[in-house]
C-alpha cells in the first residue's frame, strides 16, 4: 500500500499528552478516557484496515454535554479530534491521527423514543442501523437504508457517510430518511437541526451534515423516519449470455418506467466465485446475472414481474426464475450477499472499488474493466447496484508481491477515472475518507474544492475536526489504494459486503 500522507503532526500536542489525558479525565468519567497501548489498539483503524494509526487518547463520552465539553477543550487547546462510530467505514474516514483525540460514540447506544404516531425513531448515534429496524418491526415498520454492514454500522456513522444500500433507487439513502439530528460543533456549540417534521426551513443544514464524513460536527442524536413494510416483495433471477444483453435489459427495465426496490448485476467471474462459495444455484453458464426485486401490492408486483420477464426475454436471457415464496426470494440473494468473502476465498487479497456510473454505461464500463484486467494481468469480479448505478469491482491480487500491489493500485485508480469519464463519480456510498482523497480532483476543480473547504473552515475555523480526510492534501491526483483486505485481515470479516 502506498504511503499515506497525513496532516503534519503537531508536536506541542504530543508533548502535552499527560495534561490532555488528565484534563479529559476531569471533563468526563476518567474510566472513559483511554491511553494505554492495549486499550487503544482496537481503535487504530476502521474497516479500511490497511491504514493504521495510534490515536493520542481515546475518549468515550456518555452524553451530549460531555461531547460538548471535550470539543470545547480541544478547540481551545488546538487539539485535533477524530470522531468514530462503529468503525465499519470502508474509506478510512475514522482513521485516527497520532496527535488527535479519538472520540468514540460507542456509549451512545440507546434508542430514546419510538414514535409510531409521527413515524420516527429518536436514537443515540451509536445504535446500529439494523437496531432501528429491530425496534419497530413488531408493528410492521422498518428503517429503509440498508448498507451491507447494517448489522454493525452505527446510525451516526450512516449520517456521517450518507450510507445507502441495495434499495437506494426506490427508497433513497440516509439523507432522504432522517428528519433531524443533534450535533456538536468543534467549538462545543450544541445545535439541533430538524425534528419530527418533514423538511426544514432555511438552509438545509441536515443535507449538508449528511455525508460530511465527520468534518463539520459530531452527531449526538438522530431522528430517523420509519416506513411500513411493503405488502408483497418478490424477486427475479435472470441469466444473460452476454454483458451487453444483460446491461440493455437493466436499462430497459428503468426506461419502461419500472422502479425496482433493488436491481443487482453480477458478472461471470462473480457468478462463479459466489456460486462456489455459497452454493447459491446461480446459472453458471451466464455471462451476466441480474437480480430484480419488486415490492408493492400483490397485483402491482405481479404485473411488474411480468413486464420484467418480458423485457428480459426480449433481450435473449438464457435463464429466468421468479421467486415463488419468501424462502426462494432470500435464496436469490445468498450468493450476491457473499460476493466479498467469495472473492476473499479466491485470492490472498482483494481491493473493493466503489464508483457510480450512469446505468446505460454499464456494458461499456464492464468491457473496459475487462480490458484493464488483461492489461494488468489481474483477475477482477464485478457487482453492480444496477438500480442506482453503483459499481463495485473487486480486484484480486497478492499483497505479498509488491509489484502486484502497485499494479492493483494503478488498476483501481484507472477504474475510478473511467467512472468519471463515463459521467459518474468516484464514490457512490463508501465515502472519500483518506482512501480517495487525492482522486477528488478527477471530479472537482480548485474552485469546487475551495468552496467546500471554505464551508469547512466557516464551521471549524482551526481545521481541528477530522482533518486530512475527504479533501486532497497534495491537490494532485495521486493513485492511492481502495478497500484493502490482506489475507483475511479485514476489520469486519464476518460482515457480508454487497
Integer angstrom CA distances of residue 1 from 88, 351, 396, 480: 20, 11, 14, 8
In the bound state with another protein, the residue whose beta carbon lies nearer, of 106 and 147, is 147
First vs last C-alpha separation in the chain: 23
Q: Are 266 and 332 in contact (CB under 8 A)?
A: no
CB of 448 to another protein, least distance (A): 5
Q: Are 281 and 331 in contact (CB under 8 A)?
A: yes
CA distance 289 to 25: 55
CB of 189 to another protein, least distance (A): 6
In the bound state with another protein, the residue whose beta carbon lies nearer, of 59 and 120, is 120
Nearest to 425 by CA among 474, 391, 381: 391
CB of 170 to another protein, least distance (A): 10
CB of 120 to another protein, least distance (A): 8
In the bound state with another protein, the residue whose beta carbon lies nearer, of 21 and 444, is 444
Q: Are 483 and 445 in contact (CB under 8 A)?
A: no
Q: Are 472 and 12 in contact (CB under 8 A)?
A: no
Helix (H, G, I), strand (E, B) or coil at 245: helix
In the bound state with another protein, the residue whose beta carbon lies nearer, of 1 and 254, is 254
CB of 30 to another protein, least distance (A): 30
CB of 133 to another protein, least distance (A): 15
Integer angstrom CA distances of residue 155 from 59, 140, 197: 19, 20, 19
Helix (H, G, I), strand (E, B) or coil at 202: coil
CB of 157 to another protein, least distance (A): 13
Helix (H, G, I), strand (E, B) or coil at 470: coil
Residue indicated by cell numbers 440516509: 174
Q: Where would I find the H helices in 361-460?
A: 362-376, 402-421, 440-443, 446-459
CA distance 402 to 418: 24
In the bound state with another protein, the residue whose beta carbon lies nearer, of 343 and 419, is 419
CB of 173 to another protein, least distance (A): 7
In the bound state with another protein, the residue whose beta carbon lies nearer, of 377 and 451, is 451
Q: Where would I find the H helices in 256-378?
A: 268-278, 298-314, 326-337, 339-346, 362-376
496: cell is 457480508
CB of 301 to another protein, least distance (A): 9
Contacts of 72 (CB under 8 A, 6+ apart): 187, 188
CB of 426 to another protein, least distance (A): 6
In the bound state with another protein, the residue whose beta carbon lies nearer, of 165 and 399, is 165
Contacts of 128 (CB under 8 A, 6+ apart): 86, 150, 151, 152, 153, 154, 155
Amino acid at each position: 500500500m502506498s504511503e499515506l500522507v497525513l496532516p503534519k503532526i503537531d508536536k506541542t500536542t504530543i508533548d502535552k499528552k499527560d495534561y490532555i489525558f488528565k484534563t479529559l479525565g476531569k471533563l468526563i468519567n476518567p474510566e472513559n478516557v483511554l491511553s494505554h497501548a492495549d486499550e487503544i489498539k482496537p481503535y487504530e483503524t476502521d474497516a479500511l484496515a490497511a491504514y493504521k494509526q495510534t490515536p493520542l487518547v481515546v475518549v468515550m463520552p456518555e452524553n451530549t454535554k460531555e461531547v460538548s465539553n471535550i470539543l470545547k477543550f480541544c478547540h481551545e487547546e488546538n487539539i485535533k479530534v477524530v470522531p468514530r462510530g462503529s468503525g465499519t467505514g470502508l474509506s478510512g474516514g475514522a482513521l485516527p491521527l497520532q496527535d488527535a483525540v479519538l472520540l468514540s460514540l460507542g456509549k451512545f447506544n440507546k434508542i430514546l423514543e419510538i414514535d409510531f404516531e409521527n413515524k420516527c425513531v429518536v436514537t443515540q448515534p451509536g445504535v446500529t442501523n439494523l437496531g432501528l429496524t429491530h425496534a419497530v418491526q413488531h408493528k410492521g415498520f422498518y428503517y429503509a437504508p440498508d448498507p451491507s454492514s447494517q448489522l454493525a454500522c452505527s446510525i451516526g456513522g450512516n449520517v456521517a457517510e450518507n450510507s445507502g444500500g441495495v434499495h437506494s433507487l426506490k427508497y433513497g439513502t440516509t439523507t432522504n430518511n432522517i428528519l433531524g439530528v443533534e450535533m456538536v460543533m468543534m467549538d462545543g456549540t450544541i445545535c439541533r437541526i430538524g425534528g419530527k417534521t418533514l423538511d426544514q426551513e432555511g438552509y438545509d443544514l441536515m443535507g449538508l451534515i449528511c455525508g460530511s464524513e465527520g468534518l463539520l460536527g459530531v452527531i449526538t442524536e438522530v431522528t430517523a423516519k420509519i416506513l411500513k413494510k411493503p405488502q408483497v416483495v418478490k424477486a427475479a433471477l435472470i441469466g444473460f449470455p452476454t454483458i451487453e444483453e444483460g446491461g440493455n435489459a437493466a436499462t430497459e427495465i428503468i426506461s419502461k418506467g419500472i422502479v425496482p426496490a433493488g436491481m443487482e448485476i453480477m458478472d461471470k467471474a462473480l457468478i462463479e466465485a459466489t456460486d462456489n462459495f455459497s452454493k447459491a444455484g446461480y446459472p453458471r453458464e451466464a455471462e451476466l446475472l441480474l437480480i430484480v426485486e419488486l415490492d408493492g401490492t400483490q397485483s402491482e408486483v405481479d404485473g411488474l414481474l411480468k413486464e420484467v420477464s418480458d423485457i428480459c426475454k426480449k433481450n435473449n436471457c438464457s435463464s429466468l426464475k421468479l421467486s415463488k415464496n419468501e424462502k426462494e426470494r432470500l435464496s436469490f440473494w445468498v450468493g450476491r450477499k457473499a460476493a466479498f468473502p467469495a472473492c476473499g476465498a479466491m485470492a490472498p487479497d482483494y481491493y473493493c472499488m466503489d464508483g457510480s456510473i450512469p446505468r446505460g454505461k454499464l456494458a461499456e464500463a464492464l468491457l473496459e474493466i475487462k480490458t484493464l484486467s488483461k492489461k494488468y494481468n489481474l483477475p477482477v469480479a464485478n457487482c453492480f447496484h444496477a438500480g442506482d448505478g453503483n459499481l463495485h469491482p473487486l480486484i484480486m491480487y497478492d499483497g505479498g508481491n509488491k509489484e502486484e500491489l502497485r499494479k492493483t493500485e494503478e488498476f483501481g485508480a484507472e477504474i475510478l477515472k473511467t467512472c468519471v469519464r463515463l459521467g459518474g463519480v468516484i464514490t457512490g456510498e463508501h465515502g472519500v475518507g483518506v482512501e480517495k482523497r487525492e482522486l477528488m480532483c478527477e471530479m472537482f476543480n480548485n474552485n469546487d474544492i475551495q468552496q467546500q473547504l471554505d464551508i469547512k473552515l466557516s464551521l471549524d475555523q482551526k481545521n481541528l475536526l477530522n482533518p486530512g480526510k475527504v479533501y486532497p492534501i497534495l491537490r494532485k491526483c495521486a493513485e492511492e489504494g481502495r478497500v484493502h483486505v490482506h489475507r483475511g485481515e479485514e476489520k469486519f470479516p464476518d460482515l457480508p459486503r454487497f
